[in-house]
């Protein structure tokens, strides 16, 4: 649910904990009375002033920099005051409390409260106001949170491109082409008696084909951006003592999971996020899959299957040193059958053969052989995981995107396919053609927020940090 957008708001805008500098930010209309009492004087616009921040008795809470950004030339589009003090939590809380206290005090010149209605900001409310006041669009607002949360350099650079408007510009280009095509269709519908085929003369089919090609390029970059942000979940599965924990350690480059020759050592889920060329992969080690009378191991196996069912990719690990055994091969076949039953369609299962160093003369018929001990095949596996994830490195063209962006673009593509079918039918389906183009434009508008429900905005901005 959207917050009240007319209230003045205040919040600590820096992370919790101690630091060299901390910021208290105020946004609203007519901040001059509040500025005067806290800073002791008025401030020149967009000029940092070093001065004491005063409490109710006129004593200094701290000395720091105060900056006033008059509307509309501010982050939120409203009047903004930033108080940059020493970054101790107590100091910042005192400044926050002083702002709230001073707001309700009567101003000596007017007898009215200095800033009536001032309240602590909700998460993401500063960025929400920047969006509502036209300073940024919705995709750029989301990029702010993504830039803060970026876990890799590639993700940070891609979020920066989205924040600068690269992704939004692509969407606007598609939208403008779509609006032009809609105009041609509406002209044909509005003036049928003129006997002028607007669509044929304007090469509407060619325009639609070009639009679909442009959409395909944007979709590809958006999928890459979503991958940079979300990553994929990779689950390592197999029989006990197949080398699953060793593989996790090898991929992570650290001793995360306990490794021993005793079957059933891993009884719970162990996960680690690794990065391959900036793409986050959430790798999960699971208990060995087998029948057991041990209640704890049964729970571990059940949890393993739960992880497998939610995987984006499964690494099915086989033990080369036991591959010739009939019982072992049968157990692997049983696991493969269960994988085919439990996994959703399209989830890839990679056959990996471990312990290559202990059985160098034996090679699998299919799949990859590797050794967690020597590192043989580990780099090849990393590259294969990137392929499975669908990563195609385009370092200067990828912008960070979210799942909702990818889904919206997919809906645009579906509407354009139907539009092409109606366009081929000419006059018999022009009404349906116009409707599909309208729906495609609505889906595009959802990305930048030019059309969207209030509850969607509330969900997006509520996930921001306080003071942003």
List binding-site positions for Mg(2+).
245, 266
Q: If we measure between CA atoms, which residue out of 442, 455, 443, 447 comes closest to residue 141?
A: 447
Sign of the four-CA dihedral 77, 81, 86, 88: negative
Q: Helices 204-230 and 403-424, interaxial angle, to 10°?
A: 160
Please choose, from the candidates 223, 265, 246, 206, the residue with its C-alpha nearest in 3D space to the C-alpha of residue 376. Answer: 246
CA distance 3 to 166: 29
Binding-site residues from annotation: 25, 82, 135, 241-246, 260-266, 285-288, 468
Long-range pairs for 203-207 at CB < 8 Å and ≥24 separation? 204/423, 205/420, 205/423, 205/424, 207/177, 207/180, 207/181
Rounded distance, CA 65 to CA 83, Å? Answer: 6
Residue list for the binding site for (6S)-5-formyl-5,6,7,8-tetrahydrofolate: 25, 82, 135, 468
Q: Is the torsion defined by CA of 174, 176, 177, 182 positive or negative? A: positive
Known binding positions for GTP: 241-246, 260-266, 285-288
Give the whole-angstrom CA distance, residue 211 versus residue 205.
10
- Residue 109, SS3? coil
Binding residues for K(+), by number, are 241, 260, 262, 265
Whether the Cβ atoms of residue 83 and residue 53 lie closer than 8 Å to each other: yes
């Amino acid at each position: 649910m959207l917050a009240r957008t007319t209230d003045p708001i205040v919040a600590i805008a820096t992370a919790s904990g101690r630091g060299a500098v901390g910021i208290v930010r105020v946004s609203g209309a007519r901040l001059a009375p509040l500025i005067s009492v806290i800073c002791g004087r008025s401030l020149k616009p967009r000029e940092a002033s070093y001065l004491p921040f005063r409490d109710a008795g006129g004593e200094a809470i701290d000395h720091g920099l105060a900056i006033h950004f008059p509307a509309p030339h501010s982050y939120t589009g409203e009047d903004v005051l930033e108080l940059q003090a020493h970054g101790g939590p107590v100091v910042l809380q005192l400044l926050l409390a002083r702002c709230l206290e001073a707001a309700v005090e009567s101003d000596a010149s007017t007898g009215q409260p200095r800033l009536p209605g001032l309240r602590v900001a909700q998460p993401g409310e500063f960025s929400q106001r920047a969006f509502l006041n036209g300073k940024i669009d919705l995709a750029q607002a989301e990029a702010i949170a993504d830039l803060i949360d970026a876990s890799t350099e590639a993700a940070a650079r891609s979020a920066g491109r989205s924040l600068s408007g690269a992704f939004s510009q692509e969407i606007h280009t598609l939208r403008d082409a779509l609006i032009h095509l809609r105009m041609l269709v509406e002209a044909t519908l509005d003036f049928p008696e003129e006997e002028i085929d607007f669509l044929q003369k304007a090469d509407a089919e060619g325009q639609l084909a070009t639009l679909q090609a442009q959409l395909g390029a944007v979709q590809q970059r958006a999928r890459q951006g979503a991958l940079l942000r979300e990553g994929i979940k990779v689950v390592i599965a197999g029989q006990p003592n197949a080398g699953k924990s060793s593989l996790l350690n090898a991929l992570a480059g650290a001793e995360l999971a306990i490794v021993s020759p005793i079957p059933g050592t891993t009884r719970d889920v162990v996960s680690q996020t690794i990065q391959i060329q900036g793409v986050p992969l959430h790798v999960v080690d699971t208990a060995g899959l087998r029948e057991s009378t041990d209640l704890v191991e049964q729970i571990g196996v059940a949890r393993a299957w739960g992880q497998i069912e939610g995987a984006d990719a499964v690494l099915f690990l086989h033990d080369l040193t036991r591959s010739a055994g009939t019982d072992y091969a049968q157990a692997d076949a049983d696991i493969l059958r269960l994988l085919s039953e439990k996994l959703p369609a399209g989830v890839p299962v990679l056959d990996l053969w471990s312990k290559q160093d202990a059985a160098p003369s034996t090679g699998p018929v299919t799949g990859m052989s590797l050794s967690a001990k020597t590192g043989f095949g580990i780099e090849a596996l990393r590259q294969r995981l990137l392929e499975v994830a669908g990563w195609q490195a385009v370092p200067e063209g990828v912008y960070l995107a979210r799942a909702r962006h990818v889904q919206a673009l997919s809906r645009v593509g579906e509407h354009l396919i139907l539009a092409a079918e109606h366009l081929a039918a000419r006059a018999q389906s022009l009404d349906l053609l116009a409707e599909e183009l309208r729906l495609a434009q609505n889906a595009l508008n959802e990305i930048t927020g030019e059309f969207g429900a209030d509850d969607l905005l509330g969900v997006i901005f509520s996930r921001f940090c306080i003071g942003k």
